Structure 1
Amino acid sequence: MGGTHAVTHLLETAEPAREMVLQRFPRGDDAAARHAAALTALDGLDGRTPRLLDADPRGRRFGEPALLISRLPGSADIMSVSPDGMAVQLGRMLAQIHAVPLERFGGLRDGVAAAAASAGGSGGPAAAVLAAHGHRLADQPPVLTHYDFWAGNVLWREGRVTGVIDWSGASLAPRGFDVSWCRFDMVLLHGPSAADVFLKAYEEAAEETVPDMELWDLSTMARSRRTVETWHPNYRDLGRTDLTGAVLRRSHTEWTGRCLASWGRAERPRL
């Protein structure tokens, strides 16, 4: 439950007793190949990511692209974890991901370029700011980027993070790419204060500040502007039935306005 890209099944065997996860992707989708490459390089991330057991990225055996991966303990949970507890643990987990040495990875796509190509054109309240200053983001050093780091792609058990799933989008991008995306998720789930708690926890764990955080937040608002209303099934399936398309759109509009105001305050001394 909670995902819309791949069809996901739990497989259980009796002898030997084992649990595995089968993911089936749409025909022609290259996400299975990208997912398999990322999991191979991550090598389990100290037990925090699934291990790749088998892959059929072109669907030659299975009829459609498919992956078989190990099952991590825990489940997606956006209901029972406290807002601040969730924000702190997500921040620390993301810092751990961004610390993975890039030498493990070969041929990862450029996440900023991929996001720009799929954005469907510019526009919206943040467009003018990004047109004038967006180059500052692309010039920042890259890290391993999950590309869709939000609470629903994190597994929990008894209020603690047990792992991170859905690595099909793994890319190279500056750290602000993931940080701003998860900040918006925190806004949708628990409000702006949770987004700030998340950022503080991330920067403390990473021992790095995120350059141009206000500009990254605006980038996420532009990136999500056309699709935010379609996210409601992901939240609904995980228990947040209150986050309807209309509520998500309203939150997007309000956070965009807040981000523009933050950008104005941050840039005033430079102008």
Structure 2
Amino acid sequence: MIAVSELPEEVLRWVSGAVGGGVRVDGATGLREGGNPWLLRFEPADRVEAAVLRLGDPADSNHRRRFGTEVAALRVAAEHRLPAARLIAADLDGAETGALAVLTTVLPGDSTIPPVASAERLRGLGAAAAALQAVPLTPRPALPLRTRSIADVDFTALRRAKGTTALLTAAEERLDRLPAPGGPTVFVHGDLWHGNTLWSGGRCTGLVDWDCAGAGSPGIDLSGARFDAALLFGLPAADHVLEGWQRATGRRADDLAYWDVVAATCSLADMGFCVPVMHDQGRPDLDADTLGARRDAFLSAALARLDADSRQS
């Protein structure tokens, strides 16, 4: 927890005014590696117990884009009663706070990732992805067309700069030769992994961090969640995610092998890039070698299924 005085006074006044009821911010706890976003506590607590505050730099165009997407996504989620926090207020140009600011309600549960996940939990992650694909969505400025997870990071360019592997190169070449599957676009989270989910008593209580959201194929979130499960818990975990998704939707997933390959290529050759955040989320047992081996197992299996699908078509 930090001293409230460490947050800008303009921000604190804005938060108090947005929450209303004469409350003041009484404490702030960092939710990501001890920092932004912040879990805020209020005094008197019997009026409003807590809220989540995310801050950004208004001079940074990437921050402005991500904050605009977050707000637009939260509004869609609220309209369709999806498991997401509710928007309290937003300052998307810094006019009121001197910063980009989004203030939301607090969802129950926590995002700590267990060392072992039950089949029920993994099926719950699949069901969470299925809830999103039930919302048809046409691309729009703040929620653009998405063709993969974490769409504003160019993993291909980063691999060219930092080095790649034969398997990742083969996957890129395979995707380059294939047209992206068609079909209607739906609401996608765009970064659906365990660190962006909240859990209580084995039940998924909500999704957070909507700044990569948009309109795209249901396969983006489904395979993103499958890839994450395979990284965290091993290859068989991905099948439980698929089972949960198919139970919730009542249908088979389309083009699963294609979207699994896309999901796995949202990574770097050296998986050390994601080790710190996984440690912060409660998995200090994971290292770059383990994650790299699991990524390669997932990607190899997806490529084999993609080749088999091509031979049958």
Q: Give yes or no for TM over 0.5.
A: yes
Distance 1:106 1:3 in 2: 29
Structure 2 counterpart of 1:84, from 78, 98, 119: 119
Secondary structure, counterpart of 1:42 in structure 2: helix
Distance 1:221 1:242 in 2: 21
Q: Does 1:128 align with 2:164?
A: no
Residue 77 of structure 1 aligns to which amino acid in structure 2? T
Distance 2:236 2:228 in 1: 12
Counterpart for residue 40 of structure 2: 11
Q: TM-score, normalised by structure 1?
A: 0.88
Gaps of 5+ in 2: 1-29, 161-167
Secondary structure, counterpart of 1:166 in structure 2: coil
Deviates more, 1:183-192 or 1:251-260: 251-260
Deviates more, 1:165-174 or 1:51-60: 51-60
Q: Does 1:151 align with 2:194?
A: yes
**CA pair 60-120 structure 1, distance change in 2 beyond 3 A:** farther
Is contact 1:44-1:50 (8 Å) kept? Answer: no
Is contact 2:82-2:132 (8 Å) kept? Answer: no
Deviation of 1:186 (Å): 0.6
Structure 2 counterpart of 1:209, from 252, 267, 274: 252
Counterpart for residue 310 of structure 2: 267
**CA pair 252-71 structure 1, distance change in 2 beyond 3 A:** same
Question: Aligned-pair RMSD on alpha carbons?
Answer: 2.5
Is contact 2:77-2:83 (8 Å) kept? Answer: no
Deviates more, 1:241-250 or 1:147-156: 241-250
Is contact 2:114-2:283 (8 Å) kept? Answer: yes
Deviation of 1:101 (Å): 4.2
**CA pair 109-228 structure 1, distance change in 2 beyond 3 A:** farther
Counterpart for residue 3 of structure 2: none
Larger Rg: 2
**CA pair 13-168 structure 1, distance change in 2 beyond 3 A:** same
Count of residues paired in the alignment: 266
Distance 1:197 1:120 in 2: 29
Identity across matched positions, percent? 28
Distance 1:44 1:156 in 2: 22
Counterpart for residue 198 of structure 1: 241
Q: Does 1:63 align with 2:92?
A: no
Q: TM-score, normalised by structure 2?
A: 0.77
| Paired residues for 1:94-173 under 5 Å | 94-102=129-137, 106-107=140-141, 108-112=143-147, 115=151, 118-121=154-157, 124-133=169-178, 135-137=179-181, 139-173=182-216
**CA pair 240-233 structure 1, distance change in 2 beyond 3 A:** same
